[in-house]
Structure 1
Amino acid sequence: MTISLRNTYTTFTAGEAEKITGVSATTQRDWRRRGFLDAPQGWARYELVDLCELLVMSALQERGIGPATSCNISAASALGLSFFVLSWVDAIDDRTNGEFEKLVRQRGEPRGRFFVQPSETEPSKYIIVWASGEVEFVKDILRAFSDLSSSPKYHGAIIVLDLEALAGLLIERAGRPFVSVELR
């Protein structure tokens, strides 16, 4: 028997986005005005991918990386972060009487795979901004730091963002699911 699912993504206001990501509504407007965020028609409404972008931009901004650079990094990481968020049970409002969970168990895949199809089998878990300014998305943090060469990327401060940890933060702060799943 084939199960057909319908997903409905939760929308959040600018005020809710501020509570979840720490980016004030004023800063959100400024970033939209300057082209770092998409400009909505009417009132700003955010879905999970938008919140992921805001949270990564905020985390990088707090570490001294401005919006011109952080908006590109956040756009590139939004699907991967969404994948990690939607892999948590609390991120999904399951209205299928257990059919969705049964499907998850049958396929043996993370829940996030049912909603987000990253280009890779498993998205990168870490964003590294090396001292040289180079940005790298990696799955294995130990492997990323195993090359102790004299490369300029190691000379100075290095920023590491853990997307799985940020996913937990988004879920905790949102206080409600990001997507509802129903049978068609």
Structure 2
Amino acid sequence: MNSRNDIFARWEPRRFGAAEAERITGVSQHVQRDWRRRKIIGRKEEAGRVQYDPVDLAALALIQVLSRTGLPLEPDINVLHWGKLAITNAALRVDGAIEYAPSVPRALIESTPEYFHLENPPKLMLVTNFAAGPEGIAFEFMEDIRDLTSLLSGRGLASEDSFSVINFEAIGSKLARSAACPLFDVLELSPRLGAGA
């Protein structure tokens, strides 16, 4: 029997329309249009219709969570970049697709890393220093809830008004479970050339 490491997988991210994106992320089509107009999110179209891939859905969900936290809608570029990849990673693990990621050719992973696994994807993000206003807000990524507990106790952060925690794992899980179909199509699964039977 072939192990997963002996299997070659060919992937294709699914595309979702604006109405599907609203159902999956909770971001209304009206808000989506506003964010596209303000260039908070990118614009992708096929045959004149807006299309989102799984990473776009992750970005929509993350920006919505950040805005509900009272943060600026135009988040720090690193926060949006790493946050949406961590969310996509979590969603893929819920889908079960991430299990095949190690068997995908390295060149393909490097050319489209957002579709596969991060080495140690952050699970959480701590946002602090609200009192200083948008210019003073700080973001820190964490790989484990224990990191958060020790960080909070070490800084003496006790008031919910002084910090907020963004849970990438929970957002990604919700995305995957809200979609009516897997976020990625596995177009081909076949044994690697020379792999043992």
TM-score normalised by length of structure 2? 0.71
For residues 12-38 of structure 1, give each alpha carbon's deviation from its aligned partner in whole angstroms, at most 9, with x where no partner exists. 100110111111111111111111111
Q: Which residue identity lines up with residue 54 of structure 2 in the other structure?
A: L
Q: Which residue identity lines up with residue 14 of structure 1 in the other structure?
A: A
Q: Which residue identity lines up with residue 176 of structure 1 in the other structure?
A: C
2:139 aligned to which of 135, 138, 162: 135
The CA distance in 1 between the partners of 2:177 and 2:16, in whole Å, is 15
Equivalence map 1:1-184=2 (5 Å): 2-41=6-45, 42-69=48-75, 73-88=79-94, 90=95, 92=97, 115-118=115-118, 121-132=119-130, 133-147=137-151, 148-149=153-154, 156-181=161-186, 182-183=188-189
Contact 2:44 2:52 in 1 (8 A): no
The CA distance in 2 between the partners of 1:140 and 1:150, in whole Å, is 17
The CA distance in 1 between the partners of 2:128 and 2:143, in whole Å, is 16
The CA distance in 1 between the partners of 2:10 and 2:154, in whole Å, is 50
Q: Which residue identity lines up with residue 93 of structure 2 in the other structure?
A: S
Paired residue total: 165
The CA distance in 1 between the partners of 2:52 and 2:20, in whole Å, is 9
Q: Which residue identity lines up with residue 127 of structure 2 in the other structure?
A: V
Contact 1:56 1:70 in 2 (8 A): no
TM-score normalised by length of structure 1? 0.76
The CA distance in 2 between the partners of 1:114 and 1:21, in whole Å, is 19
For residues 124-158 of structure 1, give each alpha carbon's deviation from its aligned partner in whole angstroms, at most 9, with x where no partner exists. 1001111342011111233234244568x777431
Q: Which residue identity lines up with residue 43 of structure 2 in the other structure?
A: A
Gaps of 5+ in 1: 95-99, 105-112
Aligned to 1:107: none
Q: Which residue identity lines up with residue 178 of structure 1 in the other structure?
A: L
